[in-house]
Amino acid sequence: MNNKPRPIIVIKKKGGHGGHHGGAWKVAYADFVTAMMALFIVLWLLNSSEKVKKAVAGYFNDPKGLSTLMGTTMTGTGEGDTPAPIDKHFKELKEKLEKEIRENKELQKLSKQIEITITAEGLRIELIEDKNGTFYQSGSAQLSKNGQDLLQLLARELKTLPNTLLIEGHTDAIQYSHDANYSNWELSADRANSARRLLQTDGVRSNQVTQVRGYADQMPRAGKTPDDPSNRRITLLVSNTTEHALPTDLKGGEPQQPTQPEDASKPTAAKK
């Protein structure tokens, strides 16, 4: 019998260095690069002009650039990098309109409900309703005597301008009626369109009004109180754009506007 001991065989396995092939370092490097980029942007902004700072702030407040498309006071620079320069003639027109309103005894009483402001988009004229209805008959797109008088006054001045006009209609959040075929959407569009018809009857050119919009209650003036009567209003925006600057498909044709019935006398299911 062979009592010779068997040799002991030891198998050694070399451990791999997985760290060289893992992805943890990539995450850390990406965080470092992101932090450095943020630092450089901050340093750049600190050394930039006020004009650039306002443009950057406007983008983050209104990244889609909708403010120039809606004739509102939304913060932002819209499609351009900076707000359009204010036409000096708008200041003269604003003063002239306010003077004529003051000299008209009937309209003078409504001066608090007529707001004329100069914005980056142009001259904005707002006709603000009260709880009893001032410029339109309650629950209707039919203009009242005060509404007709004011629009006729505005038409005398606006028809002499080369600037284009945009007309918006707004309502409050109170439901107009239970009829699905006629709601606040139709009412706001009809009121804006009735203003357009009267303006053009009194001399405003057909291609001067480029857009007529109805926003229903989607853009309230008093955002915290959507039922407030001041949310019911008509906005006329005298744009910085002139007819000569319009695209060819907007020149000489009828203005863009929502479809609406010509008869503005609708059922008055609720007072608006």
Asked if residue 186 belongs to a domain, the reply is yes
Where does the pLDDT of residue 25 fall: very low under 50, low under 70, confident under 90, or very high at 90 and above? Answer: confident
Res 99 pLDDT > 90:
yes
Residues 199, 115, single domain; the answer is: yes
Q: Which two tokens stand for residue 56?
A: 């950057």
Residues 39, 97, single domain; the answer is: no
Residues 101, 234, single domain; the answer is: yes
For the residues of 210-259, what is the DSSP string, one character each?
A: EEEEE-TTSS-SSTT-TT-GGG-EEEEEEEEEEGGGS-GGGSSSPPB---
For the residues of the chain, what is the DSSP string, one character each?
A: ---PPPPPP----PPP-GGGT-SHHHHHHHHHHHHHHHHHHHHHHHTS-HHHHHHHHHHHHSTT--HHHHTS--SS-TTSSSPPPPPHHHHHHHHHHHHHHHHSHHHHTTGGGEEEEE-SSEEEEEEE--TT-SSB-TTSS-B-HHHHHHHHHHHHHHTT-SEEEEEEEE--SS---S-TTS-HHHHHHHHHHHHHHHHHHTT--TTTEEEEEE-TTSS-SSTT-TT-GGG-EEEEEEEEEEGGGS-GGGSSSPPB-----S------SS--
7-21, 167-181, 191-205, range with greatest mean pLDDT:
191-205
Residues 135, 34, single domain; the answer is: no
Where does the pLDDT of residue 75 fall: very low under 50, low under 70, confident under 90, or very high at 90 and above? Answer: very low
Residues 40, 162, single domain; the answer is: no
- Interhelix angle for 184-201 vs 145-158, to 10°? 50
User: What pLDDT sits at residue 246?
Assistant: 54
Overall average pLDDT of the 222-240 stretch: 90
The number of beta carbons lying within 10 Å of the beta carbon of residue 18 is 7
Where does the pLDDT of residue 19 fall: very low under 50, low under 70, confident under 90, or very high at 90 and above? Answer: low
Range scoring the smallest mean pLDDT among 65-79, 210-224, 242-256: 65-79
Asked if residue 82 belongs to a domain, the reply is no
Residues 129, 44, single domain; the answer is: no
Cα–Cα nearest to 214, from 241, 240, 194, 198: 194
| Cα–Cα dist 98/90, whole Å | 12
Asked if residue 67 belongs to a domain, the reply is no
Tell me how many domains the chain contains. Answer: 2
User: What pLDDT sits at residue 150?
Assistant: 92
The number of beta carbons lying within 10 Å of the beta carbon of residue 249 is 8
Res 27 pLDDT > 80:
yes
Please give the order of strands across the beta sheet that includes 122-128: 114-118, 122-128, 233-242, 163-170, 209-214
Residues 45, 101, single domain; the answer is: no
* Domain boundaries, position 35: 23-61
Residues 138, 192, single domain; the answer is: yes
Range scoring the smallest mean pLDDT among 10-14, 122-126, 176-180: 10-14
User: What pLDDT sits at residue 180?
Assistant: 76
